[in-house]
Amino acid sequence: MIAHGEAAPAELLAVGSELTAGLRQDTNTLWLCGELRALHLRVARVTSLPDRIGVIAAEIGAACSRSALLIVTGGLGPTTDDRTLEGLAQGLGVRRRVHPEARAWLQEALPGKRRELSEALLRQVRLPVGARPLRNRRGTAPGLLLESGKSLLVALPGVPDEMRGLWQDEVFPELATRFPVAGKTRRRVVVGGLRESEVDGMAAPVCLRRGVDCTILAGGGVVELHLEGHGEAVISALHELRILLAHDLISCDGSSLEETVLAAARSRGGHLAVAESCTGGRVAARLTAVPGASDVFLGSLVVYSDDLKRGLLDVPDMVLRRHGAASQEAARAMVEGLRRRTGCRWGVAVTGIAGPQGSGRGKPVGSVWFAAAGPAGVVSRRRRFPGGRHRVQDEAAGMALDLLRRTVLSGGSEA
Amino acid sequence: MIAHGEAAPAELLAVGSELTAGLRQDTNTLWLCGELRALHLRVARVTSLPDRIGVIAAEIGAACSRSALLIVTGGLGPTTDDRTLEGLAQGLGVRRRVHPEARAWLQEALPGKRRELSEALLRQVRLPVGARPLRNRRGTAPGLLLESGKSLLVALPGVPDEMRGLWQDEVFPELATRFPVAGKTRRRVVVGGLRESEVDGMAAPVCLRRGVDCTILAGGGVVELHLEGHGEAVISALHELRILLAHDLISCDGSSLEETVLAAARSRGGHLAVAESCTGGRVAARLTAVPGASDVFLGSLVVYSDDLKRGLLDVPDMVLRRHGAASQEAARAMVEGLRRRTGCRWGVAVTGIAGPQGSGRGKPVGSVWFAAAGPAGVVSRRRRFPGGRHRVQDEAAGMALDLLRRTVLSGGSEA
């Protein structure tokens, strides 16, 4: 839950038919939302529209009457489907004119000393009257800044690299001056081993009591809480949550589950390894996404077939025949073989039924078995995850990492 | 450029403060835009709003007066920040009531035979009057379908897996009946081993000549072409592209690179295995994302440390000392060890420098070595990928899969 303070409302508008046709994920607005949050500007609406002048114009008119800030991305380039400038001019009821400064930038950017600018190139610098151009050092299309009534309008090119560059060089400094930030704090809390509803039931009253805004997100085997509010209130909520969550608290300093596992092993001077069946390499992929993982992570044996479980991890044939590869016994044998074969101090094994096939004998799709081992012995768990194959694989990978974390932290004994 | 026909207009609305706060990428609407495209429904607008009843209600009212179809995602769950049902009821000016059928589904889904439904759980089935609930087999929150004036309104949970399941089971069939499709064809072509600009240079003239719309997208080590146009024109463009692309064509039947590799091995009756260093499990994760991969995929040895390269793959210590773990010689030794240790018919090994650390001695960050082996011998490659750690890891995983594909198709000889 995010409560909305009195921060100035902002809107984002992403222009491009590739977005509404489902061909390209718009990542610009997500990034901009994060940037605006850092400025404590509340995003009231994010809209994507196709490259049609009429709808762009109507939306710009409406947005300027609703919000203090409108940021438009995309449609500023030289091709015929770049229509944002026309939409802007029409929406604000102003003309367009070639902006001499922007034209000079364009000419400088051209290779050689070509004097003639093509009509296509000139389209990019035919700006709505009253606009201040923003120099794009990574491409040809300038951005622009424009006051309209009580609103500030910013337009940026859609190429992510150009958009971010212009934002950082030109727009962020301007906004930081116009909208000075209040004394608020923001913290991310990562929780393992609990369901989203359980975490919500714990956190909601703690935050409500202190007037702290709390957003809850689940995925990849963990639950995240994003707290926001006045400094002392957030710190005091964190303090209470730390006690309530105990060992289920993975981090509250912004670290991810993977980073936490690697850091715990590093500070204890031991190495980690993984044996994966149903997660098929996802545990290893998450650990190796962290730069510098190689100093504590040895590797993962992705033993998808029974032959490899026997051959690489010495899982006894009898275990596979009597209990099946998806079983507690197999998970324990896998982690024991893993420690022997790799010499890791801590290891985790995961095996189960990701689906859609493979269920049977009281083992429905989504059933996953885990075993973690360290100097103090082996612990094991069984969980059943809802959802399809990919969700089961992702959640199981997170659960394996969390069990590994608990094992490292406890020195290897029962977590 | 995408032309807009006279198809019925649709709108999407994603609800969730995590979206407008920049905490979570909304992937649902992208996916839905693609699905609506398959139905030839034109998406006129995509909006994201925070969890605020007033703005949700206002937007739903406005959307229903503009568009023939409105699809809302998110905010249907049991927690206090799930407010879509209230927004819907307020926006349409109707009351909410516990829907007996949806309530019965909820009760069935509960573990054991718990009779008492908590107020939090009941919130999910207190639906706007007139709504038809859609059974969610992957979670507790039902979807719903509701007629309002000339508009059809569909609400789906925000968890991607649940959203897609409900869409495929319930919504898509319903829409396919209501909005029958015109005579256009759409095909996806997947290409490996070439840069985006190279593929564009080949495909653009072919498509232009035939009036076929072509959108090009790159990522994960492959380039995708999306062709759309009249049936015969698309088929004839495909025919020409097949000749131009030759072995670089991965598929033009909608199959992914991973599916193509697995199917090729399956039809030849052999098994696959992988040895990964810098990709850290990503090759295995991509193969195991495909249901039924286990019949041909044995597993992957993620040998992140030199000790495991020696111990599990018999990479000679001299190779590691003389050439380093990131080298052509190491890649070849890895794939040879892989074949011996797993008994696979075809295998691929990948090792390199994902960064940000680890460069040196003429080996900049992004340098990756590959070796693939089959009955006819070993082939090897070196590539340098641009971008940061994650991009290098993803592109290298795709390249490894493509090299494996070429090896399987050629029977194991030089691809």
Q: Which of B34, B44, B273 sits opposite A22 (nearest CB)?
A: B34
Q: Where are the domains of chain B?
A: 9-178, 184-251, 259-409
Task: Report pLDDT digits (tens) over B266-296.
Answer: 999 999 999 999 999 999 999 999 999 999 9
- Please tell me which residue, A286 or B150, carries the higher pLDDT value: A286
Return the amino acid letter for A71. Answer: I
Question: Looking at per-residue confidence, does A379 or B117 come out higher?
Answer: A379
Q: Chain A within 8 Å of B53 (Cβ-Cβ)?
A: no
Count of alpha carbons within 13 angstroms of residue A40, beta-carbon side:
17
HSE-CB for B84 with a 13 A CA cutoff: 27
- Could you give the CA distance from residue B322 to residue B312 in angstroms, rounded to a whole number? 19
Residues 276 to 335 of B: which have CB under 8 A from any A CB?
A: 276, 278-285, 287-289, 291-294, 297-305, 307-308, 311-312
Q: Which CATH number fits domain B259-409: 3.40.50.300, 3.90.950.20, 3.40.640.10, 1.10.260.40?
A: 3.90.950.20
pLDDT at A324 over 90: yes
Q: Could you give the percent of chain A with pLDDT greater than 70?
A: 95
CA A50 to chain CA centroid, Å, is 25
Q: What is the mean predicted confidence (pLDDT) over B308-315?
A: 97
Q: Is the pLDDT of residue A382 over 90?
A: yes
A18 CB neighbours in chain B (<8 A) are 2, 215
Is any Cβ of chain B less than 8 angstroms from the Cβ of A5?
no
- So what's the pLDDT on residue A363? 92
A128 upstream amide cis, omega within 30 of 0:
no
pLDDT of residue A415: 38
Does the beta-carbon distance from B343 to A307 stay under 8 Å? yes
What pLDDT, on the 0 to 100 scale, is given for residue B6? 44
- pLDDT given at position A176: 79
Query: What is the predicted pLDDT for the residue at A178?
Result: 83
Mean pLDDT (chain B, rounded)? 90
Q: Considering only CB atoms, which chain A residues are within 8 Å of B285?
A: 280-282, 285, 393
Residue B405 has pLDDT above 90, yes or no: yes
Cβ distance A48 to B46 less than 8 Å, yes or no, reads: yes
The pLDDT value recorded for residue B183 is: 64
Q: Which CATH number fits domain B184-251: 3.40.50.300, 3.30.70.1450, 3.30.70.2860, 3.40.50.1450?
A: 3.30.70.2860
Q: What is the mean pLDDT of residues A207-218?
A: 90
Handedness of CA B130, B135, B140, B141 (dihedral sign): negative
What is the bridge-based pairing of β-strands A69-73 and A151-156? Answer: parallel
Per-residue buried b or exposed e for B129-142, using 16+ beta carbons within 10 Å of the residue's own CB: ebbbbbebebbbbb
Q: What's the pLDDT at A113?
A: 58
Asked whether residue B169 carries a pLDDT value surpassing 90, the answer given is no
The mean pLDDT of A190-208, rounded to a whole number, is 92
Nearest to A290, CA basis, from A265, A252, A261, A268: A261
pLDDT at B131 over 80: yes
Point out the residue among A46, A79, A387 whose CB comes nearest to the CB of B19: A46
Task: Tell whether A230 is within 8 A of chain B (Cβ).
Answer: no
> Which numeric CATH code is attached to A257-409?
3.90.950.20
pLDDT given at position B2: 35
Q: Would you give the DSSP letter of residue A247?
A: G
* Cα torsion through A203, A204, A207, A209, rounded to 10: -120
Least confident segment among A381-385, B29-33, B194-198 = B194-198
Calculate how close chain A gets to B414, using CA atoms only, in Å.
Answer: 27
Which CATH code fits A9-178? Answer: 3.40.980.10
Mean per-residue pLDDT for A273-294?
97
B80 φ/ψ sector (left φ>0, alpha ψ -120 to 50, else beta): alpha
Residue-level pLDDT at A183: 66
pLDDT tens sequence across B3-61: 334 456 899 999 999 999 888 889 999 999 988 887 888 899 999 999 999 999 999 99
- The answer to whether B208 faces chain A, any CB pair under 8 Å, is no
| 3-state secondary structure (DSSP) of residue A18 | helix
Asked if residue A58 has pLDDT above 90, the reply is yes
pLDDT, one tens digit per residue, over B370-384 is 999 999 999 999 999
Q: What is the pLDDT of residue A115?
A: 66
Q: Which pLDDT band, with edges at 50, 70 and 90, does A411 fall under? A: low
Q: What average pLDDT score do residues B343-349 get?
A: 97
* Residue B395 vs residue A6, higher pLDDT: B395
The residue that leads in pLDDT, A115 or A104, is: A104
What does the pLDDT look like over B236-273, one tens digit per residue? 999 999 999 999 999 988 899 999 999 999 999 999 99
Give the 3-state secondary structure of residue B288: helix
Q: Is B217 helix (H, G, I), strand (E, B) or coil?
A: strand
Q: How far is B26 from B160, CA to CA, in rounded Å?
A: 9
Nearest-Å Rg of the Cα atoms of chain A is: 27
Show residues of chain A in contact with B80, CB under 8 Å: 1, 200, 204
Name the pLDDT band for B413 (thresholds 50, 70, 90).
Answer: very low
Average pLDDT over residues B216-227: 86
